[in-house]
Amino acid sequence: MAVEEEPLDSATDWVAQHTRRYVETNGQEGHEWRGVQTLVLTTTGRKSGKQRRNALIYGRDSENYLVVASKGGAAKHPLWYLNLQADPNVNVQVEAQKFAARARTASAEEKPRLWAKMTEIWPAYNDYQAKTERNIPIVVLQPVR
C-alpha cells in the first residue's frame, strides 16, 4: 500500500503557518483571518506532480467558491494559479468541510460582477490590480458532486 504524502504548503512562511493551523484545527483557527474568511486550496504541482496547499481569501457565487490570483499585485501569477491551469482538478477545505472541485478562470463577461464581489470582501484587490499590468484572474471553484 502506497503511503500518501502530506501536501506541501506555500513557500511563503506566514501563508504556510496559516494553512497548517487551518488544516490541523479543521478551520477553527484560520477560517477567519483579518476579518475575512479563508479556505485551503490544494492543487497538483505542474512540474513536480506533488500536492500543494495554500490558504486563500474566498467569496461565494451561488454554490461556487471564488478566489483571486492576486499575489499582492506581483507581475507574475501565483504558482497555485499556474498549477490549476495545468490541472483544474483541485481539493478545497472550508472549515471542516472538504470536497473536490474543478477550477476555471472567470470569463471576461463574468469577471466584472465577480470582481465587485471580491473587492467588497477585500478592497485591496483594487490596489493590487493598480500595481501590475497583469490582468489579475478570478478563479471559480465548482464543487464536483
Question: What pLDDT, in 10s, does the model give residues 14-35?
Answer: 888 988 999 899 999 999 999 9
Query: How is the chain split into domains, by residue range?
Result: 8-143
Question: What pLDDT, in 10s, does the model give residues 22-73?
Answer: 989 999 999 999 999 999 999 999 999 999 999 999 999 999 999 999 999 9
Residue 106: per-residue pLDDT: 98
Which CATH superfamily, name and number, covers 8-143? Electron Transport, Fmn-binding Protein; Chain A (2.30.110.10)
Model pTM?
0.92
Confidence band for 82, pLDDT divided at 50, 70 and 90: very high
What is the SS3 assignment for 13? helix
What is the distance between the alpha carbons of residues 4 and 6, in angstroms, rounded to a whole number? 7
Which residue is listed with cell 490582468? 135
What is the distance between the alpha carbons of residues 26 and 89, in angstroms, rounded to a whole number? 22
